[in-house]
Amino acid sequence: MAVDGAFCAYFQQAVELIGRRYTGAITRELLSGPLRFSELERAIPGISARALTLRLRELQHAGIVGREVEPASPVRVTYALTEKGRALDEVVAELERWAHDWLAPTEHAHA
């Protein structure tokens, strides 16, 4: 398959963004709907508050995640995928399928 330089650069940029630690897990969790920070923190084993904050900021900057602040007492902040983020649904589903097929412990090794 012939690939031009611009496409290759965009592909690499996408892999580096989505491939950062916890980014896939955050995206996967938000595919089910908007969540608060604490809900994301509980749903992703091993993530620290600092790491979650950094990844959410990166994903917001990339236009993948939106942040909504509800001026209540206390203030409620929810995170949700944007249209751009929801477009990753099939990518995440395929990656999950691949991981299940090739990385999950099995009785038979894949050839």
SS3 content of the chain, % helix, strand, coil (to 5): 55, 15, 35
Domain that holds residue 83: 22-102
The number of distinct structural domains making up the chain is: 1
Note whether residue 55 is domain-resident.
yes
**CATH code for position 34:** 1.10.10.10
**What is the chain's mean pLDDT, rounded?**
91
Q: Is residue 109 part of a domain?
A: no
pLDDT in tens, 50-74: 999 999 999 999 999 999 999 889 8
107 pLDDT exceeds 80? no
**Are residues 79 and 66 in contact, defined by beta-carbon separation less than 8 angstroms?**
yes
Residue 34 has pLDDT above 70, yes or no: yes
In a domain, 2, yes or no: no
- How far apart, in Å, are the Cα atoms of 45 and each of 4, 85, 95? 39, 22, 19
